Structure 1
Amino acid sequence: MKPFTESMLNQCRKYMFNFFDYLPTKYQASARDWQVRKFVWAFKDGKCAVSAAQLVAKKIREQFGTSASDMVFVCIPASSQRKNEIRYREFSEEVARLSGAVNGYSHITVEGERLAIHESKSGKHVNDVQVINFDKEFFKDKKVLVFDDVITRGYSYARFACHLESFGASVIGGMFLAKTLFV
């Protein structure tokens, strides 16, 4: 397991919200667990961006009210620019439209490709490198709400949030479709 720095731990102490509990496929699942799995998988494939955006935007409005218009909504990038576009372009636009938040999607791009975490445990070896490009000036002095589809331990979220804050952003917390359960 990768070590958390104190700054990363501080990110995990901020506002964190997940809509569902996600049971990994190595565990026997109930009908509800399968519903959640299928929703998360469909989201990752860009097949339910609008319904997921409605869910997220509603929670943003409930949690932040009119101050949502003072924050930037940004997603932790997927493993490639192509997957990032499929997963987050329409979703981010819709979340911003429905919540009043500023859409940060176009201010982060992905170069190269990395294996998704669930793929890297299979023993595959790759030499590809993923580079995430940030519009640093855009994020300076902005309040940012970070989104990711699934949070497991919080390492990716915390590292991404710390990176945003290194540009002068103020990360207010994170929202996630689902949180991995450990049985």
Structure 2
Amino acid sequence: MNMVKVYIKGQEDKNLSSFLRYYPARIKNIGFDAVFDRQIIYDFKDGHNHAEVAKCVAKMLVKKYGRKIGKVVFSCVPASSQERNEARNKYFSELVCRLSGAIDGFSHVRVRGERTAVHGTKIKKELRMKRLQEGMNIEVDADFFKNKIVCIWDDVVTTGSSFCAYSNQLEQVGAHVTDGIFLGKTSYKYVQQ
């Protein structure tokens, strides 16, 4: 997998990277490489290839943090409901931490109620604003995250608003978010690799 640099305005102090370019289904004129990458992302969201992705993420974490990995909390941006969050992130987070030696932050975050799912839709400004307002229905264990180095994971980054909201929430309770890792970075112009 080729790494893709991610830029999110206001997050320049963090190391942000993605494994794949993600072309939404409405982008039609793409090569087999992009179709393959898109399927990896779809499979991940459906819970089918967590082990392969976890190996890549764990390897990246160990390379980045070295012997300090045992002091780093790995935390996934929560999905739109607690049920979806557990289905998508619980096993994945456990596996990444088991393979890398990082601290699993999954059990220290809860989703109350439902949030609007925005992936797979043509995001409108109103929908994005609604999702940001709903971000407050994520509860984090402030005592656990205080003074911890945190690496945040999300499956796809488009505008970075979910990452920013979650990162800000963790930083408000005293966490030090240093990295963001994404499986896919949304792109709209196909670049053959």
Does the TM-score normalized on the shorter chain lie above 0.5? yes
The letter for the 2-side match of 1:38 is Q
Cα contact 1:12–1:154 (8 A) shared by 2: no
After TM superposition, list the pairs within 5 Å mapping 1:34-45 onto structure 2.
Answer: 34-45=35-46
After TM superposition, list the pairs within 5 Å mapping 1:60-99 onto structure 2.
Answer: 60-99=61-100
Provide runs of 4+ in structure 1 moved above 6 Å: none
After TM superposition, list the pairs within 5 Å mapping 1:64-143 onto structure 2.
Answer: 64-118=65-119, 121=122, 131-143=137-149
RMSD: 2.0
2:187 corresponds to 1:161: no
Ranges in structure 1 where 5+ consecutive residues have no aligned partner: 1-7
- Separation (CA, whole Å) in 1 of partners of 2:79 and 2:155: 9
Cα contact 2:27–2:188 (8 A) shared by 1: no
Over the matched positions of the two proteins, sequence identity in percent amounts to: 39
Q: Which moved more, 1:38-47 or 1:96-105?
A: 38-47
Report how many residues are paired. Answer: 173
Q: Which moved more, 1:106-115 or 1:92-101?
A: 106-115
TM-score by length of 1: 0.87
Alignment CA distance shift 1:12-1:46 (3 Å): farther
Deviation at 1:36, TM superposition (A): 1.0
The letter for the 1-side match of 2:117 is A
- Separation (CA, whole Å) in 1 of partners of 2:184 and 2:100: 20
Cα contact 1:11–1:173 (8 A) shared by 2: no
Cα contact 1:148–1:157 (8 A) shared by 2: yes
- What's the counterpart of residue 32 of structure 1? 33
Ranges in structure 2 where 5+ consecutive residues have no aligned partner: 1-7
- Separation (CA, whole Å) in 2 of partners of 1:177 and 1:120: 18
Cα contact 2:44–2:50 (8 A) shared by 1: yes
